[in-house]
Chain A
Amino acid sequence: MSYGKTVDEQLQLPRLERQPFEPRALKSIILSTITVSAAVIACIPLFSVLIMLFYRGGKRLSLELFYTLPPTAFEIGGGFANAILGTIFMVGIAACISVPFGILAAIYLAELGHYSKLAQVARISAKTMTGLPSILAGVFTYAAVVLITGSYSAWAGGIALSLLMIPVVMLTAEEAIKMVPRSMKEAAYGMGCTPTQAMWKVILPVAMPGIITGVILAVARAAGETAPLLFTALFSEYWLNPTGPTASLAVLIYNYSGMPFENQIEIAWAASLVLVLMVFILNIIGRVLGRGNRI
């Protein structure tokens, strides 16, 4: 340190202050703005739908909707209790079919036959099925069930929905099983587990939150489907009869929104709101369950 010069003068220090008008900084600001606005724009459709539904359907929302049958042409009041029951019933059937199927298939895909030809074929089929237009599930079930049994029914509706749910349950369950740390599987085998014991005692309990998330998301999707039900469950203005035409919220919305009666149109709006809220709540439950117990 010689002769009165400060350290700063002796060394050329790098400039560390922010330089907001350098091209590099400007570019960064512009790109950040674009990505943020894209994210905001992506939220607009959902929120406008929600606002619209609350605005149009909210005023008709009342307890009466949940315990009365749909109104006839010039009747005042009424509700869609049968449609809610129908939706729950058919989605329940679909879940009863697709959950065991999907999980067992996922166990095969993830653990037993991971590299086998069969697993590869099944995986590709399931991925294709997730993109299957839902109307085809309806048409297929119409041909395979409705024509054979001779009537529209809740069973047929449930089967059509299960076609849409199986691939979703299967693929998410496979993912959840694969997420279980390898070291934990090794520990299970190291302790002398048979493959079955390792699966039931160690792997499935750890994978369960992920599997449940997948199931709930699949249920939420199925609850909102209209096209498959139009061909299979049709609609009914009476209470649930599993072997006859059955009402569902989605088809009720489809039917009533096109009617020339103010009352029916209002009910369609309220039904839309209820359906969206049901799907929304299921989604939130699915996310919350999926977050817990992560490793």
Chain B
Amino acid sequence: MKSTQGDTGASALKSEAMDVDVVLDCHAEQIFYGDFLAVRNSKIPIRKNTITGLIGPSGCGKSTVLKSINRMNDLIRGFRFEGKVHFHGMNIYDRKVDPVSVRRNIGMVFQQPNPFSMSIYENVAFGLRLNHFKGDMDAKVEKALQRAALWDEVKNKLKNNGLSLSGGQQQRLCIARAIATEPQVLLMDEPCSALDPIATRQIEELMIELKKRFSVAIVTHNMHQAARVADHTAFFSVDITKGGRTGYLVEMQPTIKLFENPQENLTKEYLRGDFS
């Protein structure tokens, strides 16, 4: 954070030094769906124990970038990623990398709460069982539910179906499920957009708690949410000049700086509410 003060030359040097903190470095040169160029030239470093927010108008490719980070987009026909995502010294788009193991190490929480149709306990234990975890499953499940701030509400009904919970509880269950395997990076794709304000507030508080252990990247359509929770914020916009709708990164700054002193005119206009 401190490196961004000071003049440009020095900050370039310091940002090199800051790369020590970067656990995952996503550099999307071009992302295609079939012939459609969805995103170009976007570089999103995710730093250790921070929350990285991705904001921008709809259709700007922020979700596409996020879902590229754990190769979820591989499931979409015609998806093609050009660029690199560095994680643990590997490019996860390398031919040698198995997308399944990538997804086991980079957790994901989706826009719609999507617990499995099984008990609350089994939902949380799911990832552990996939990884052949042999140990105290009960303790792991309890810990994950506690970290997701859900334990007190469900400790007496762990056998109930996960789908019987309220929307906000379901989303926290999904968070518990994602963090049970202790992934280093947790991706959240508009995790609050289907929730009411109270549940949203709970999830936001939870995110700030979670960053002590995990590195979080969150896509949000709500820039105030980014302002509240994110340490760094990336602003995306859409380029419609060449007939297509191509998203790209306009700027990425520490959140305070982006909101108080944006460098780009486009960012200023967006933050002022000139377009959304």
Contacts and interface: CB of A to CB of B under 8 A. Distances in A.
Interface stretch (B39-47, B115-123, B205-213, B232-240): B115-123
A192 B101 contact: yes
A191 B177 contact: yes
A194 B104 CA distance: 10
Interface string B98-115: 001111110110101011
A194 to B, nearest CB: 5
Size range of the chain A interface in the assembly: 20 to 34
Classify the interface of chain A: helix, strand, loop or mixed: helix
Interface in A157-174: none
A206 B115 CA distance: 12
A188 B177 CA distance: 11
Interface stretch (B9-17, B69-77, B151-159, B216-224): B69-77
A186 B72 CA distance: 8
Contacts of B101: 192
Nearest to B74: A189
Of A186, A187, A191, chain B has the most CB atoms within 10 Å of the CB of: A191
Interface string A146-188: 0000000000000000000000000000000000010110111
A202 B105 CA distance: 20
A37 interface: no
Contacts of A187: 110, 114-116, 174, 177
A192 B103 contact: yes
Contact of B130 (A186, A191, A206): A191
Classify the interface of chain B: helix, strand, loop or mixed: helix
A202 B116 CA distance: 7
B163 interface: yes
A36 B77 CA distance: 47
Contacts of B107: 190
A192 B104 contact: yes
Given A191-B104, A194-B100, 7 more contacts: A181-B114, A183-B112, A190-B178, A192-B127, A202-B116, A205-B118, A295-B117
A293 interface: yes
A189 B72 contact: yes
Contacts of A3: none
A47 interface: no
A115 interface: yes
A184 B110 CA distance: 10
Given A115-B77, A295-B163, A190 B108 contact: yes
Interface string A191-224: 1111001000110011000000000000000000
Nearest to A192: B104
